[in-house]
């Protein structure tokens, strides 16, 4: 049913995550279509971040398979996921302390550097060229996420919360990922900022990068996402087009409480 | 049977002593997650205080002072109480201000406390051994078991005391309200505070009890071996820490088990292995390294203790008190920030200053001192790669330095001169070949040592590297055929260029300076590239770095290799400059000293290691002019320790911290601006 024929970029099949006796994710099936903006939603404690951590290799599932771009990736470590083109941001921003914005973003391009130690020490032309090219690309991406050149040399962790989120997105994009996973990119932002980030996500997709995001703001989710996966208690509650999913009585009950 | 039985008895006595000290490490670690290296010194204080209280008179500060001459039980009780109080005071002054600091800060402070206590003890009691007076129980006939195993009454007392003390402690932790508060604080300090547990008092209690246990172990050790000495706590302290880790740090039954295993393995190993007594110190550390590799959490420990907090090693500026001190730092910062902004020109400026100083200084004496500054600065720069940039605390760095020094010394002296009768000046060029060769060898060695540590984080990493460093030292002492053992290697030729001996202090200084330029240039080129960015990313947040596509394991090894290369490279010159090396040159203390130099100057800066070396070595010399220091030379080390503690509390990021290092290629940025 699912698989290459449906054009899924990332597929999870029967993923189970258990922490001790607690089943955080119970037999989840989901597929992220190529070129989609895919929303992962659900009430607090539904297991959204756990799923995102599974999809980026941070948590190895107790059982189940992960297929990314036609390749089985379940057995890889975090770095293996990153190398195959999955990039992520974190719910609580995790920028590298003591690094400037430019340096932090450049870390995202790590896989694109290959100069040997002697080449670096003797300042080989190719090593310099690679550095220059990546610095130029970092500036482009900083502009793309809406940050001016003036912030490039500031220590990233001293920026405002909203700017730090943008730096994190730029850092993730720097690896030229196939799939960008955003863990609550709009958390703690005002309405205007939320719209800006939503626009940014659309532009990312316009560049051919598939996006999977966790979000709570249903207004934004409705307008931004092409596809939603709803979790409750670690299980799939609904999956499909936003309008149809959000109209589902089971989804409404999960969000508004069953008492109604 | 009888030989085995005797070894078994020895092992049990030793095991009981290790177990008691291990309890101290475990108790404090469990409550505040601090490896308090100073327990080895509290162990030593317990021994000295008991001995002093038992004697009719003792020589303190060189003067004979009358003492009460108590019997052992009373003296022991007094010593335990006094040591407990010292432990609480140490916690209050040196550790409590750092309770929420990143974990490297308290670890370094505890090493500094250790240095302070040891040098103070040597100042007070002198460098000689203090003989432990015979207690009347020790004069009784030994007990004979199975007709062949002789156990002295005191051995039985040692074992019984250990069992009673540990059972008592377990009962105390399980039943008393303070014990319950301790367990709660161990689980979650914030939560414990929120439910009204006076966490600071609980921690103080843990320190008091832990220090008491260390003192008890120390006095039993002194009783068993018949003496007290200012450096006696060092090895047993490390072994006890090993035992605590072996059993699973944080677990009291684990400490008992670990101590027992270690004591038995050591005693049996010494008895049965060929030349076992010589290698017995290595046995414990091999056991430690092997265990940490297979099962990092220890036998009875919990895996979550093998973790490092995210964030910088030492954190940012401390807000703590002392306005005038902060004002001085602020002025220095402004200057350094301007220098760092100037980048390469500032580096050339500093080099020019060094050259001028090298030309102007008239006395050979000061030139030798400045050469040492440059050598230590280079070594500290090598250590800085792994600790300062990659954020991995390495207490085994001296091993790489030793590899370089021994390689060139063995080749020049033992092989060519003694083996083939080749005069060193005929093969002067070999030195220049040895520099990169030793670098590569040490780098390979570093990768070898680094690989098993990859799974470890934080304190466990420090302990494992410490184990490696000790193993290398024990090997250097005991592998007579290769290293000439404790006698060391003499007659290493001074550096020589085309037959011109560079033996004069001025020539050596400039030789060292030239090497320093090479080292700093190479390290800076690596740091100011994607490699350095990967290192700093690992230091700041390993998981996030991994998620950004940095293969963290490979880049940790890269850092080890770079650090090792520098160590080996500098080691070659060190040997030729000193013309004599022995295992004593490469002790853990040297490693700690290098670490302190880096911390003093500023972790993760290019300038810091040299600033640290300059301050420390010049201070060492100037301090010799103070009358007080002249009378008690050991107090210099105490002063170093005090300076470090003050620094950790008020300025954890080091003196030259604002000479922040850029992590992009300088050329690439210049082009981009144009």
* The predicted structure's pLDDT at residue B339: 65
Which A residues in the span 84-103 are in contact with B, Cβ-Cβ below 8 Å? 87-88, 90, 94-100, 102-103
Mean pLDDT, residues B414-441 taken together: 88
Q: A6 and A128: one domain? A: no
Whole-angstrom distance, CA of residue B96 vs CA of residue B199? 11
Query: Residue range B576-581: average pLDDT?
Result: 90
B658 band by pLDDT with thresholds 50, 70 and 90: low
| DSSP letters spanning B471-500 | HHHHHHHH-HHHH-GGG-EE-PPPPEETTE
Mean pLDDT, chain A, rounded, equals: 89
Q: How far does B561 lie from chain A, in Å, by closest CA?
A: 11
- Nearest residue to B653 via CA among B380, B316, B388: B316
Whether residues A223 and A161 share a domain: the answer is no
Residues A2 and A81 in one domain: yes
Residue of A nearest to B521 (CA): A121
Task: For tokens 């596509």, name the residue.
Answer: B549
Summarize the confidence of residues A224-243 as an average pLDDT: 90
Task: Examine the fold and report which residue of A119, A145, A176 is the final residue of a domain before the chain moves on.
Answer: A176
Q: Give the model confidence (pLDDT) of B152-185 as tens digits.
A: 788 888 899 999 999 999 888 888 888 888 888 8
Q: Are residues A26 and A150 in the same domain?
A: no
Indicate the pLDDT class of residue A36, thresholds 50, 70 and 90: very high
Range with the lowest mean pLDDT among A228-237, B110-119, B448-457? B448-457
Residue A191 sits in the same domain as residue A76: yes
Q: Which of residues 59-78 of A touch B (CB under 8 A)?
A: 77-78
Query: What percentage of chain A has pLDDT greater than the value 70?
Result: 96
Q: Which residues touch B630 (CB under 8 Å, ≥6 apart)?
A: B624
Confidence bin at A4 (pLDDT 50/70/90): very low
Give mean pLDDT, residues B31-43. Answer: 88
Contacts of B672 in chain A (CB under 8 A): 132, 135-136, 139
Q: What mean pLDDT is predicted for residues B298-302?
A: 66
The domain spanning residue A257 has which CATH number? 3.40.50.300
CB contact under 8 A, B546 and A78: yes
Range of the domain at A143: 91-176
Residue range A200-227, pLDDT digits in tens = 999 999 999 999 999 888 888 889 999 9
Residues 104-163 (A) with a CB less than 8 A from some CB of B: 106-111, 113, 115, 117, 120-123, 127-128, 131-132, 134-136, 139
Average pLDDT score over residue span B29-55: 89
Q: How far apart are CA A215 and CA A225, in angstroms?
A: 10
Say whether pLDDT at B548 is over 90: yes
Q: Among A148, A176, A204, where does a domain finish?
A: A176
Considering the domain architecture, whether residues A78 and A98 belong to the same structural domain is answered as no
Q: Look at A115 and B530 and tell me if their CB atoms are within 8 Å.
A: yes
Residues A154, A214, single domain; the answer is: no
Which of A150, A176, A202 is the last residue before a domain boundary? A176
Instruction: Report the pLDDT value the prediction gives residue A259, as an integer from 0 to 100.
Output: 45
Inspect the interface and report whether the beta carbons of B548 and A82 lie closer than 8 Å: yes
Whole-model pTM? 0.87
Which chain A residues contact residue B541 at CB under 8 A?
A: 94, 96-97
On average, the pLDDT of chain B sits at: 84
Where do the structural domains in chain B lie, given as residue ranges?
13-234, 360-673
**Residue B278 CB neighbour total at 10 angstroms:** 16
Say whether both A60 and A183 belong to one domain.
Answer: yes
Question: Taking CB atoms and an 8 Å limit, are B543 and A94 in contact across chains?
Answer: yes
Which residues are paired to A229 by β-bridges?
A40, A239
Q: How many domains does chain A have?
A: 2
Q: Is the pLDDT of residue B473 over 60?
A: yes
Least confidently predicted of A68-72, B345-349, B551-555: B345-349
Q: Are residues A229 and A253 in the same domain?
A: yes
Q: Are residues A237 and A191 in the same domain?
A: yes
CATH architecture of the domain covering B360-673: Orthogonal Bundle (1.10)
B573: pLDDT strictly greater than 90: yes
Give residue-wise pLDDT tens across range B174-220.
Answer: 888 888 888 888 777 778 878 888 888 888 999 999 999 999 999 99
Min Cα–Cα distance to chain B from A172, Å = 7
Tally C-beta pairs within 8 A across A and B.
121
Interface touch B664/A106, C-beta < 8 Å: yes
* H-helix segments, B195-275: 199-225, 234-247, 252-272
Check whether residue A185 and residue A155 sit in a common domain.
no
A19 reaches B (C-beta below 8 A): no
B496-497 and B500-501 beta bridge pairing:
antiparallel
Neighboring chain A residues of B529 at a CB cutoff of 8 Å: 113, 115, 120, 127, 131
Domain co-membership, A3 together with A81: yes
**pLDDT at residue B87, as a whole number:** 94
| Residue given tokens 């009875």 in the structure block | B300
Per-residue confidence (pLDDT) for residue B348, from 0 to 100: 82
pLDDT digits (tens, 9 = 90+) for B250-268: 788 889 999 999 999 988 8
Average pLDDT over residues B620-644: 79
pLDDT at B621 (0 to 100): 81
User: Are residues B529 and A127, on separate chains, in Cβ contact within 8 Å?
Assistant: yes
User: What pLDDT shows up at residue A138?
Assistant: 94
């Amino acid at each position: 049913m699912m698989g290459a024929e449906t054009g899924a970029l990332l597929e999870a099949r029967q993923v189970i995550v258990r922490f001790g006796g607690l089943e955080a994710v119970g037999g989840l099936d989901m597929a992220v279509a190529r070129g989609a903006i895919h929303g992962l939603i659900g009430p607090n404690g539904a297991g959204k971040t756990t799923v995102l951590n599974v999809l980026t290799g941070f948590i190895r599932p107790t059982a189940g398979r992960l297929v990314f771009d036609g390749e089985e990736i379940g057995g890889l470590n975090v770095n293996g996921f990153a190398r195959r083109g999955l990039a992520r941001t974190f719910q609580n921003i995790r920028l590298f302390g003591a690094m400037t914005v430019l340096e932090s973003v450049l870390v995202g391009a790590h896989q694109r550097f290959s100069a040997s130690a002697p080449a670096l020490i003797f300042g080989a032309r190719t090593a310099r060229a690679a550095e220059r090219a990546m610095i130029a690309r970092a500036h482009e991406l900083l502009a793309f996420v809406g940050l001016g050149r003036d912030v490039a040399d500031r220590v990233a962790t001293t920026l405002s919360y909203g700017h730090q989120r943008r730096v994190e997105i730029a850092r993730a994009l720097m690896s030229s990922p196939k799939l960008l996973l955003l863990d609550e990119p709009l958390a703690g932002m005002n309405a205007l900022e939320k719209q800006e980030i939503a626009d940014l996500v659309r532009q990312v997709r316009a560049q051919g990068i598939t996006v999977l995001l966790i979000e709570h703001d249903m207004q934004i989710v409705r307008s931004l996402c092409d596809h939603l996966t709803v979790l409750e208690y670690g299980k799939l509650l609904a999956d499909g087009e936003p309008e149809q999913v959000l109209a589902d009585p089971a989804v409404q009950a999960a969000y508004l409480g069953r008492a109604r | 049977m009888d030989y085995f039985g005797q070894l078994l008895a020895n092992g049990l006595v030793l095991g009981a002593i290790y177990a008691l000290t291990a309890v101290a490490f475990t108790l404090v670690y469990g409550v505040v997650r601090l490896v308090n290296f100073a327990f080895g010194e509290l162990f030593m204080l317990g021994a000295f205080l008991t001995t002093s209280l038992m004697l009719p008179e003792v020589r303190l500060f060189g003067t004979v002072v009358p003492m009460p001459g108590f019997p052992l039980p009373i003296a022991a009780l007094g010593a335990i109480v006094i040591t407990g109080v010292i432990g609480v005071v140490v916690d209050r002054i040196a550790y409590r201000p750092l309770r929420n600091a990143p974990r490297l800060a308290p670890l370094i402070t505890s090493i500094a406390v250790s240095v302070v206590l040891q040098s103070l003890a040597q100042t007070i009691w002198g460098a000689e051994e203090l003989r432990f007076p015979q207690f009347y129980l020790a004069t009784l006939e030994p007990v004979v078991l199975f007709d062949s195993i002789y156990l002295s009454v005191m051995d039985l007392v040692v074992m019984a005391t250990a069992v009673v003390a540990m059972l008592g402690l377990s009962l105390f932790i399980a039943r008393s309200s303070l014990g319950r508060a301790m367990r709660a604080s161990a689980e979650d300090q914030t939560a414990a505070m929120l439910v009204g547990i006076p966490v600071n008092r609980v921690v103080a209690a843990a320190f008091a009890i832990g220090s008491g246990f260390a003192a008890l172990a120390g006095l039993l050790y002194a009783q068993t071996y018949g003496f007290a000495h200012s450096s006696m706590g060092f090895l047993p302290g490390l072994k006890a820490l090993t035992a605590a880790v072996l059993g699973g740090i944080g677990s009291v039954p684990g400490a008992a088990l670990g101590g027992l295993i270690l004591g038995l393995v050591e005693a049996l190993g010494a008895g049965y292995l060929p030349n076992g007594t010589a290698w017995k110190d290595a046995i414990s550390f091999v056991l430690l390294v092997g265990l940490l590799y297979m099962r990092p959490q220890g036998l009875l420990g919990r895996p979550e203790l093998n973790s490092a907090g995210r964030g910088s090693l030492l954190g940012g500026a401390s807000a703590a008190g002392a306005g005038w001190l902060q004002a001085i730092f602020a002025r220095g910062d402004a200057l350094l920030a301007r220098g760092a902004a100037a980048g390469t020109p500032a580096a050339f400026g500093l080099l020019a200053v060094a050259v001028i100083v090298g030309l102007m200084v008239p006395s050979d004496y000061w030139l030798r001192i400045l050469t040492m500054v440059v050598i230590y600065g280079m070594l500290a720069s090598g250590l800085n790669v792994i600790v300062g940039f990659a954020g991995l605390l390495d207490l085994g760095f001296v091993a790489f330095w030793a590899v370089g020094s021994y390689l060139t010394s063995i080749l020049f002296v033992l092989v060519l001169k003694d083996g083939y009768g080749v005069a060193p000046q005929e093969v002067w060029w070999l030195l220049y070949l040895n520099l990169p060769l030793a670098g590569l060898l040490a780098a390979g060695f570093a990768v070898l040592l680094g690989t098993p540590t990859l799974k470890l984080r934080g304190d466990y990493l420090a302990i494992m590297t410490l184990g490696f460093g000790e193993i290398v030292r024990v090997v250097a002492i005991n592998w007579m055929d290769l290293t000439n053992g404790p006698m060391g290697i003499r007659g290493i030729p001074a550096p020589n260029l085309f037959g011109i001996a560079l033996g004069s202090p001025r020539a050596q200084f400039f030789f060292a300076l030239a090497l320093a330029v090479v080292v700093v240039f190479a390290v800076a080129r690596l740091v100011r590239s994607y490699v350095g960015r990967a290192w700093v990313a690992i230091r700041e947040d390993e998981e996030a770095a991994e998620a950004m596509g940095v293969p963290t394991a490979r880049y940790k090894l890269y850092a080890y290799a770079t650090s090792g290369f520098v160590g080996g490279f500098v080691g070659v010159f060190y040997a030729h400059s000193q013309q004599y090396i022995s295992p004593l040159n490469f002790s853990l203390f040297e490693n700690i000293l290098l670490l302190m130099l880096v911390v003093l100057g500023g972790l993760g800066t290019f300038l810091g290691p040299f600033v640290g070396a300059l301050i420390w070595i010049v201070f060492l010399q100037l301090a010799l002019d103070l009358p007080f220091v002249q009378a008690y030379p050991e107090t210099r080390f105490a002063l170093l320790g005090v300076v470090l503690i003050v620094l950790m509390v008020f300025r954890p990021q080091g003196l030259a911290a604002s000479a922040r290092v850029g992590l992009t290629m300088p050329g690439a940025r210049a082009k981009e601006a144009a």
